[in-house]
Amino acid sequence: MSFEKLDALGHRLEALEHALAILGADEATHMAVGGGEKRAEAMAMLAGMFHRQATAPEIADWIDAAEQEPLNEDQAAALREFRRQYTNMTCLPSEFVERQTAARMRCEQLWRDMRARNDWAAFQPALENVVSLVREEAAMRAEALGLASYDALMEQYDPGNRVAEITPVFAELKAFLKDFVPQALAIQDERLAKRPLKPLSGSYPAEKQRELGLAMMAAVGFDLTHGSLSVSHHPFCGGVPSDVRITTRYRTAEFLSALMGTLHETGHALYEQNLPKQWSHWPLGKARGMSVHESQSLFVEKQIGRNPAFWRWALPVVEAHLGESWTLDDILPHVHHVERGLIRVDADEVTYPLHVILRYELEQELVAGRLEVAQIPEAWDAGMRDALGLSTIDNPADGPMQDVHWPAGAFGYFPSYTLGAMMAAQQWAALTKAHPRADDDLARGDFTVINGWRRDTIWSQGSRWSTPELMERATGQKLDAGYFIAHLRARYAA
């Protein structure tokens, strides 16, 4: 049977994915400095093997034939995802992929150097080449998928998400935040005037922070027999579901950034560890997309890790590992600090979406050809001044050069960050409606019911549904900005 051939293919591809994922995680954490060249050769060889096997011409015939076979519900869903994966992997000519890969690598390497020099003029030609190729990619994907150009790019990261549905939601959120940010800052100033911020001691050895992180990971549900915690320059979640590799970084002057980074990556890891194991070798068994993945990480970091109820349980754990006693009133101003800033990755949960929405708006203009690369600095500056009252016109390093996404050609990715935050808030609202005592559970350090709801509604579904369908089935509603807005009001203006 043709489906059996696809099933066998899935096992082969899963093995190659496993090897690539573990090699990639090791490269970022434990590989010796001199191992880079041979590691790159090995990974390139494996990536080539994966691509050749995943795009073999006969797969199209197998998929067509399998559609005529008697399949059960899971197999039929798997077949849809096999077709989606195959279409997305074969709609770009190999010559184009090679040309685009070379342009991306050159631009990303130049970006590292030129950002350090704050030199937009020297960086611009390389980015122009990348954007030109992104427009070509968008056109080819749009034709193959029957979608608008930017929707075709987003489809690579979030199947089912469309500009027509996202833009009104982002517009509502943006309008709210432009008024709410000054309000939240004023309330914060008023509170700090009454009760000054208790400073951190500035003495937090990395090993003690690591032990605290491991304790928190285990408590919220991370399976330490199928995963580990390491150190890297930038926190990430990698590896494979049976061996999830998460990392963080430590600053001995404070502990919250490492702890929140660890909780964030643990959220990603919980999703991976709880995907349906019986589907692991099918595209159906993979995580649905980047915004769903981000919703799971932000759920742990924001809905749980910055929840006052969580800190009622967590403060004694922090004291046991770091030797410092804090009250809830001492720690929450640190946990909930709001500040306007230029850098997206350093932003708090109130200002962060404004950074993302700016990029989402500019990306669409760039892909459509209504904005040229030479015009980005002025457009970026205008957007930052409008959203946060900050100018970047003479500082492109902290403006349009701050992210690696555009040099790397990752257009259509940015929306997932804020979509994930909104989805996490909506999921929390649905969970607490079904289980009103969730905060009481957090205060006791009991995550059983919370994780059970997430396992049933999100984790166990793999890629059975599109992103919008998964959200509606989990929460009973389409994505609604109102839940995230209500979350921010309750936390920062109550």
What residues are labeled active site? Answer: 265
Cα 289 to Cα 158: distance, rounded to the nearest angstrom: 5
Locate 383 and state its tokens: 């957007």
Contact predicate 406/362, CB 8 Å: no
Cα 425 to Cα 432: distance, rounded to the nearest angstrom: 11
CB atoms under 10 Å from CB of 402, counted, come to 20
DSSP per-residue codes, 107-162: HHHHHHHHHHHT-HHHHHHHHHHHHHHHHHHHHHHHHHHTS-HHHHHHTTTSTT--
Angle, vertex CA 484, rays to CA 148 and CA 447, nearest 5: 115
Cα 100 to Cα 408: distance, rounded to the nearest angstrom: 10
- Residues with Cβ within 8 Å of 292's Cβ and at least 6 positions away in sequence, in order, are 158, 271, 420, 423, 458, 467, 470, 471
CA dihedral over 69, 71, 77, 79, signed as positive or negative: negative
- Residues with Cβ within 8 Å of 281's Cβ and at least 6 positions away in sequence, in order, are 7, 10, 11, 13, 14
Cα 484 to Cα 460: distance, rounded to the nearest angstrom: 24
Contact predicate 403/389, CB 8 Å: no
Report how far apart, in Å, the C-alpha atoms of 402 and of each of 342, 439, 485 are.
9, 37, 27
Instruction: Give the β-pairing of 237-240 and 243-248.
Output: antiparallel
CA 96 to chain centre: 27
Report how far apart, in Å, the C-alpha atoms of 88 and of each of 83, 163, 211, 369, 409 are.
9, 19, 42, 23, 16
CB atoms under 10 Å from CB of 235, counted, come to 19
Report how far apart, in Å, the C-alpha atoms of 397 and of each of 121, 130, 188, 381, 391 are.
12, 18, 29, 12, 12
CA 119 to chain centre: 28
